[in-house]
């Protein structure tokens, strides 16, 4: 009987590890898929700017169109919708919104090709990917509890958002550079924190059901946002040298 109990406990432990690995793999698969969609959409629009740009900006007057504002603000609306209605939406609907969000972000990010040299964008993306991988490994393997660290970073994030809004009116290049560096540090740290949080959640899942599937997708969205924001802040730093 003791041997049977021991085998049962061991089997449960193995199953829990399998569920945890499945959850984490789903998170990173969703995230990688979203990044691929965003990158492809952004590159295709940038490669056809002569055709696409007039739909967003009137080249004669310089005024932006309604489509431009939709491309800029629709992603924020979708993120709020997904976050606030995650319990009410089905996994299929949530998945469609996530895919749509990734495409719209690609439309929004296509405009960076008008501002930065493509080599700068490529190098920055590579640096972002390397930094993200390293911090993900740290977050997944460290035994240090990053909860307090993450709470501080989120408060700092609200601080730089306010600073960015203020700098819209001040138009200070120095302040913009400082904000960009702080932004890089914040999202570098948040990557490790969010990965650890997702790992901890994965160990508490009894089975990979519909709810766990939705949480994996929302976890992917969190990491996707960490990656995109880290990329944009690094681009602001590197872009000053261009």
Angle at 227 between CA 105 and CA 111, to 5 degrees: 35
Mean predicted confidence (pLDDT) in 143-159: 89
pLDDT of residue 13: 54
Whether residue 104 has pLDDT greater than 60: yes
Whether residue 14 has pLDDT greater than 60: no
Q: What is the pTM of this model?
A: 0.88
Query: Residue 17: which pLDDT band, with cuts at 50, 70 and 90?
Result: confident
Give the residue, 180 or 60, on which the prediction is more confident: 180
Whether residue 164 has pLDDT greater than 50: yes
Whether residue 163 has pLDDT greater than 50: yes
Q: How far apart are the first and last CA of the chain?
A: 71
pLDDT of residue 242: 45
The structure tokens 């993306």 sit at: 125
Residues 69-98 have pLDDT tens digits of 888 889 999 999 999 999 999 999 999 999
Whether residue 10 has pLDDT greater than 80: no
Mean predicted confidence (pLDDT) in 192-212: 88
Residues 114-133 have pLDDT tens digits of 889 888 999 999 999 999 99
Whether residue 194 has pLDDT greater than 90: yes
């Amino acid at each position: 009987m003791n041997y049977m109990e021991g085998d049962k406990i061991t089997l449960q432990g193995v199953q829990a590890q399998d569920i945890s690995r499945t959850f984490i793999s789903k998170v990173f698969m969703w995230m990688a898929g979203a990044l691929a969609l965003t990158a492809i959409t952004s590159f295709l629009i940038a490669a056809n700017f002569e055709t696409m740009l007039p739909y967003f900006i009137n080249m004669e007057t310089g005024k932006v169109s309604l489509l431009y504002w939709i491309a800029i603000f629709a992603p924020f609306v979708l993120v709020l919708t997904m976050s606030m209605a995650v319990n009410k939406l089905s996994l299929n609907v949530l998945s469609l919104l996530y895919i749509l969000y990734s495409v719209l972000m690609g439309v929004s990010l296509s405009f960076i090709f008008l501002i930065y040299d493509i080599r700068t964008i490529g190098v920055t993306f590579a640096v972002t990917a390397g930094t993200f991988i390293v911090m993900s490994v740290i977050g997944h393997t460290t035994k240090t509890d990053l909860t307090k660290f993450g709470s501080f970073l989120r408060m700092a994030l609200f601080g730089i958002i306010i600073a960015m809004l203020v700098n819209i009116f001040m138009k200070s290049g120095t302040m913009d550079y400082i904000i960009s560096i702080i932004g890089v540090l914040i999202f570098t740290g948040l990557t490790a924190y969010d990965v650890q949080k997702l790992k901890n959640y994965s160990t508490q899942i009894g089975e990979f059901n519909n709810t766990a599937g939705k949480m994996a997708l929302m976890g992917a969205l969190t990491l996707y946002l960490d990656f995109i924001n880290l990329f944009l802040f690094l681009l602001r730093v590197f872009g000053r040298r261009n």
